[in-house]
Amino acid sequence: MQKILTGNESAAWGAMCAMAQVVSAYPITPQTTIIEELANLVAKGMLKAEFIKVESEHSAMAGCIGAQAAGARTFTATSAQGLALMHEMLHWAALGRLPVVMANVNRAMAPGWSIWTDQNDSLAQRDTGWLQYYCESNQEVLDTVIQAYKVAEAVDLPVMLVLDAFFLSHTYEAVDIPGQERTLGYLPPYKPSIYLDVNEPHAFGGIVPQDVYMEFRYKMQLAMDQALEEADKADEEFNRMFGRGYGLIERYHSDDAETILVTAGTATSTARVVIDDLRARGRSVGLLKIRLFRPFPAQLVREALAGCRRVAVLDRNICVGMGGIFAQEIRSALYHQPPERRPHIHGYIVGLGGRDIIPEVIEQIADDAEKRTVDDGRMIWIGLKD
């Protein structure tokens, strides 16, 4: 079935296809229409789920954690300040090894107050032990929700999928909806390995002394390593069943390119147009889209960038005091490569607080990168006003 859906509605329909059993959520712009659509789907009987109207995002995630620990497949959605308020619970879900799935609508952090997109909210949660996917289209949002459950439940880690505020959350596209029956063939009902079972009781959240805490963390790392394989498998299997695959990264005209731009989120779609245009004018440029950010697909990124001379990373985020976060990750991934497989990496700060990344901006970045001969590691701000 095809429907015209917003990015937010696509997230909700994804959770519907995956048959989430408990939705626990709190309103926040620009996420709210995700949970409204879920409330609608539940009210119409299209999704047999409990919908809990909690009193804050902290409680929303706690509600998911409780339900997941009781053996249910859960879903929630949030944005920016809401995600920040959840921070304690994000750690809880991950360290409790509960495969909660959540959509986060990328919105800039306050103050000053902004409801528009940038990636600082989700990237600030990088170290909580959640997987993170960055989506580019509404179809990818819906498909990623379904894939997210597959991966999360295979490795017992929670997954956050991320979509840009307004550019994706509130814009409409035709979206193919697999429906619950077909999704069931891909994603079987949730069978928790350990849960609060009345017949065989288990305890979550006990005190862990110094002599075993590290081992818990080590097991999480092993699960993250496995998640990289599971995410790849989940995408391939999805492609076989539904005819759509995205990869963990996507290389667009990057094999022969001297300059490769790196993007995540909706800026990718705009960048594709710019790449086509620049290549038509004879420029040797390509694109690398990062879809999976945690676990970081370092080896795939190394291979994608091995042959080019320079990389221009578009960071719609800023780690103040260090620079763009995607640029840092890529530099780190390439550090141990031999010099001939280690291109110059230029980090661009762009589009913060929802400032539009239009084709001219991306072309300006490509122009700038092509002129640079020294890799000095400095952050480059694009479009700053005096």
Partner 1 sequence: MAMHYKDFLRIDHMPHMWCPGCGIGIIVKAMLRAIQTVEWPINDIAVISGIGCTSRAPGYLDMNTLHTTHGRALTFATGIKLMRPDKHVVVISGDGDAAAIGGNHLVHSCRRNIDITLIIVNNNIYGMTGGQCSPTTPLGAKAATSPWGNADPPFDISSLCKGAGATYVARGHVGSGVQLERLIRGGLNHKGFAVIEVLSNCHTQFGRRNKLSDPIELINNIVAKTVNVRQAAKMSREELAGKYPVGLLHQDEEREEYYEAYKKVIQLAEAALKR
Catalog residues that contact partner 1 under the rule CB under 8 A. 26-29, 32-33, 35-36, 39-40, 43, 51, 53, 55-57, 81-82, 85, 110-111, 113
Cβ at position 43, least distance to partner 1 in Å: 4
Nearer to partner 1, 32 or 68 (CB): 32
Nearer to partner 1, 26 or 293 (CB): 26
Cβ at position 21, least distance to partner 1 in Å: 18
Nearer to partner 1, 86 or 327 (CB): 86
Torsions phi, psi for 215 (to 5 deg): -65, -35
Cβ at position 348, least distance to partner 1 in Å: 30
Dist CA 176 CA 322 (whole Å): 41
Q: How many CB atoms lie within 10 A of CB 133?
A: 26
Nearer to partner 1, 46 or 196 (CB): 46
Cβ at position 99, least distance to partner 1 in Å: 25
Cβ at position 32, least distance to partner 1 in Å: 5
- CA dihedral for 22, 55, 58, 112, sign (positive or negative): positive
What percent of the residues of the chain are helix, what percent strand, and what percent coil, each to the nearest 5? Answer: 45, 20, 35
Say whether 79 sits in a helix, a strand or coil.
strand
Nearer to partner 1, 45 or 243 (CB): 45
Residue 31 in contact with residue 168, Cβ under 8 Å? no
Dist CA 89 CA 381 (whole Å): 34
Nearer to partner 1, 111 or 201 (CB): 111
Cβ at position 169, least distance to partner 1 in Å: 13
Dist CA 203 CA 69 (whole Å): 10
Q: At what angle do helices 7-17 and 179-186 cross, to 10 degrees?
A: 70
- CA dihedral for 255, 258, 263, 266, sign (positive or negative): negative
Cβ at position 17, least distance to partner 1 in Å: 20
Dist CA 130 CA 160 (whole Å): 7
Dist CA 264 CA 163 (whole Å): 10
Nearer to partner 1, 245 or 353 (CB): 353
Nearer to partner 1, 50 or 363 (CB): 50
Dist CA 45 CA 38 (whole Å): 11
Cβ at position 199, least distance to partner 1 in Å: 31
Cβ at position 218, least distance to partner 1 in Å: 36
Strands (E), the chain: 2-6, 22-25, 50-53, 74-79, 101-106, 131-134, 159-164, 172-176, 249-252, 259-263, 285-290, 292-294, 310-315, 344-349, 379-381
- The DSSP letter of residue 319 is B
In degrees, rounded to 5, the angle at the alpha carbon of residue 11 between the alpha carbons of residues 172 and 126 is 115
Nearer to partner 1, 24 or 254 (CB): 24
